[in-house]
Structure 1
Amino acid sequence: MLGRIDWMTPDDHPDLLAAPVRAATRDAAERVRVAAIDPDLADTAAFCERYGVPLAASANCVVLAAGRGGAVTYAACVVLATRRADVNGTIRRHLGARKISFAPMDEATGATGMEYGGITPFGLPEGWPLLVDEAVADTPHVVVGSGLRRSKLLVPGSLVGELPGARVMPLTR
C-alpha cells in the first residue's frame, strides 16, 4: 500500500467514512481503502509528513462557489497536492462563472455533509460539477479525504475521474 499507515477495507470500518461517502463508495468498495489518522494531521502537508505519503500521491478536493447573474452554484475540483488549480482562469471559464471563489467553510460543510478538512470527491451532492485534474486521474493511487478529518481514503486516481458528474481535464497552470 502507500505510506506508513494501516489501509483497511471500508466495509470493515464504515465508521471511518462520512455518510454520503459510505453510500458513494459502496459499489467500488473493492477498489477503496480507508485508514484512521490523527484528526489534527488531516491537512495535506501535515498528513503526508507524518504518514510518509508523497505529496504527489495526495489530492485535495475544494468546493467552489461560482456566481453569474446573481445566482451561485457549487462545484468541486480535485488536484494533486503538488499542483495549483487555475481557479480564476480555466475553472471559472469552464463553469461559465463571472465570479468564482472558494466556498465559505459553513456552506461547503453544510452542502456536502462532510467535515472541513475531510471534503472528498466521493459523495458530493447530486448535480454538482466535479472537475478532476488529469494528473489525478493518471496517478495509480491517490489519497483523498473520507468526509471526516479522522480518516483518509486510498483510491485509484482513475476512479476519481469515473465519479458522477466528473470531467477530467487540465486544471492547473
Structure 2
Amino acid sequence: MTQLDWMPAADHLDLLADPVAKALVPGLRVAEIDPGLSDTAAFCDRYGVALEDSANCVIVAGRRGGETRYAAVMVLATDRADVNGVIRKRLDVRKVSFAPQPEAVSLTGMEYGGITPLGLPESWPVLVDENVTSRSFLVIGSGLRRSKLAISGADLVAATGGETLVLTL
C-alpha cells in the first residue's frame, strides 16, 4: 500500500504531539517519516502515498463582533477548500482566512506542517469535506513533522466530532 512502517500509535506516543497523544483513539496507526518531507507533495512522492489518500488540515480564523472564531478544515490533498464561501458562512463571519503560522502553532500545541484535527481545542469545529469521509485509508498529520497518522475518513469524523460538508471548490 505505502512504503511506510505503520505501527499502533498507542505504542509510539513519542511520534505524536502532546495534544494528539491525549486525544488518542483506538486503531490509530503512526509512521515515522523524514521531517524534511512532511509537506504533502514531497511526502506522497517519497513514500508512495496517493494524493487522494492524503488529507490536509488547515486552521482558519474569522472575526465577528470582536471574537475570533477558529476551525480546522480537512480536505484531500487533491482538493481546494472553499474558504470564502462555505467555510465563511459556517463560521458566520464576514471574512475568513488561514490562521497565521505562529498563531496556529501556539493555539494547537503542534508543529506547523504537522497540524491535525485530533487534539484541537474542543470549542473549534472540525469541518471535514465529504470526499475525506469516503476514504477507507487516509494519511493525516500527527502534530509533528516527523510522523504521519493513518485513519479512515469515517473514523476521523467520529474521533473529532467532525462535521461533514461539501467544502471544496
Deviation, 1:165, is 4.1
Residue 42 of structure 1 corresponds to which residue in structure 2?
38
User: Where in structure 2 are there 5+ consecutive unaligned residues?
Assistant: none
- Check whether the contact 2:62–2:94 (CA below 8 A) recurs between aligned residues: yes
**Structural mapping, 1:8-157, within 5 Å:** 8-25=7-24, 28-29=25-26, 31-157=27-153
User: Where in structure 1 are there 5+ consecutive unaligned residues?
Assistant: none
User: What is the identity percentage for the equivalent residue pairs of Structure 1 and Structure 2?
Assistant: 58
- Check whether the contact 2:138–2:152 (CA below 8 A) recurs between aligned residues: yes
Residue 168 of structure 1 corresponds to which residue in structure 2?
164
Deviation, 1:37, is 0.2
Q: TM-score, normalised by structure 1?
A: 0.95
Letter of the aligned partner of 2:15 in structure 1?
L
CA deviations over 1:4-36 (Å, ceiling 9, x no partner): 1100011221100011101111xx23x211000
CA deviations over 1:30-50 (Å, ceiling 9, x no partner): x21100000000000000000
Letter of the aligned partner of 2:17 in structure 1?
A
User: Which range is displaced more, 90-99 or 162-171?
Assistant: 162-171
Q: TM-score, normalised by structure 2?
A: 0.97
